[in-house]
Amino acid sequence: MTTSLPTVLFVPFFFSLVAVLGCWLYYALRWRAPGRPQRSRIYRCAACGHVYADPRDRPMARCSRCGTMNDVLKR
Protein backbone atom coordinates (compact mmCIF):
# COMPACT_ATOMS: atom_id res chain seq x y z
CA MET A 1 0.00 0.00 0.00
CA THR A 2 1.37 3.35 -1.01
CA THR A 3 -0.01 6.61 0.28
CA SER A 4 -0.26 9.31 -2.28
CA LEU A 5 1.08 12.78 -1.65
CA PRO A 6 -2.36 14.48 -1.49
CA THR A 7 -3.44 11.98 1.21
CA VAL A 8 -0.29 12.62 3.26
CA LEU A 9 -0.98 16.36 3.11
CA PHE A 10 -4.76 16.15 3.51
CA VAL A 11 -5.03 13.84 6.54
CA PRO A 12 -3.09 16.05 9.04
CA PHE A 13 -4.87 19.12 7.65
CA PHE A 14 -8.25 17.44 8.08
CA PHE A 15 -7.55 16.40 11.69
CA SER A 16 -6.29 19.86 12.67
CA LEU A 17 -9.43 21.34 11.11
CA VAL A 18 -11.59 18.95 13.15
CA ALA A 19 -9.67 19.89 16.30
CA VAL A 20 -10.17 23.63 15.66
CA LEU A 21 -13.87 23.07 14.93
CA GLY A 22 -14.21 20.98 18.10
CA CYS A 23 -12.63 23.72 20.23
CA TRP A 24 -14.82 26.37 18.62
CA LEU A 25 -17.98 24.34 19.25
CA TYR A 26 -16.91 23.62 22.83
CA TYR A 27 -16.43 27.30 23.65
CA ALA A 28 -19.52 28.40 21.69
CA LEU A 29 -21.71 25.98 23.68
CA ARG A 30 -19.99 26.83 26.95
CA TRP A 31 -20.68 30.56 26.53
CA ARG A 32 -24.36 29.93 25.90
CA ALA A 33 -24.69 27.45 28.76
CA PRO A 34 -27.56 28.17 31.15
CA GLY A 35 -26.50 29.96 34.30
CA ARG A 36 -24.00 32.24 32.56
CA PRO A 37 -26.22 35.33 32.93
CA GLN A 38 -26.52 35.70 36.68
CA ARG A 39 -30.10 35.07 37.71
CA SER A 40 -31.07 35.60 41.31
CA ARG A 41 -33.62 33.28 42.87
CA ILE A 42 -36.60 34.71 44.64
CA TYR A 43 -37.64 33.48 48.09
CA ARG A 44 -40.63 34.23 50.26
CA CYS A 45 -40.22 33.79 53.98
CA ALA A 46 -42.75 31.38 55.48
CA ALA A 47 -42.40 32.97 58.92
CA CYS A 48 -42.61 36.73 58.25
CA GLY A 49 -43.67 36.93 54.57
CA HIS A 50 -40.57 38.91 53.56
CA VAL A 51 -39.77 38.52 49.82
CA TYR A 52 -36.09 38.56 48.95
CA ALA A 53 -33.64 37.50 46.20
CA ASP A 54 -30.41 35.51 46.47
CA PRO A 55 -28.02 35.44 43.46
CA ARG A 56 -26.13 32.38 44.71
CA ASP A 57 -28.53 29.90 43.04
CA ARG A 58 -29.18 27.72 46.08
CA PRO A 59 -32.31 25.64 46.82
CA MET A 60 -32.66 27.35 50.20
CA ALA A 61 -31.69 30.78 51.52
CA ARG A 62 -31.88 32.47 54.90
CA CYS A 63 -34.37 35.29 55.39
CA SER A 64 -32.56 38.60 55.89
CA ARG A 65 -35.27 39.80 58.27
CA CYS A 66 -35.89 36.89 60.68
CA GLY A 67 -33.27 34.26 59.76
CA THR A 68 -35.66 31.44 58.75
CA MET A 69 -34.48 29.07 55.99
CA ASN A 70 -36.88 29.17 53.01
CA ASP A 71 -37.36 27.20 49.79
CA VAL A 72 -37.03 28.93 46.44
CA LEU A 73 -40.26 30.48 45.13
CA LYS A 74 -41.64 28.63 42.09
CA ARG A 75 -41.93 30.80 38.98
Using CB under 5 A, list all residues that contact Zn ion: 45, 47-48, 50, 63, 65-66, 68
Q: Tell me how far apart the alpha carbons of residues 63 and 44 are, in angstroms, rounded to a whole number.
A: 8
Contact (CB, 8 A) for 26 and 18: no
| CA distances, 48 to each of 1, 44, 52 (Å) | 81, 9, 12
Of 25 and 66, which has the nearer Cβ to Zn ion?
66
CB nearer Zn ion, residue 7 or residue 64: 64
**SS3 of residue 55 by DSSP:** coil
What minimum distance in Å lies between the beta carbon of 54 and Zn ion? Answer: 13
**Least distance (Å) between residue 37 CB and Zn ion:** 28
Between 11 and 47, CB nearer to Zn ion: 47
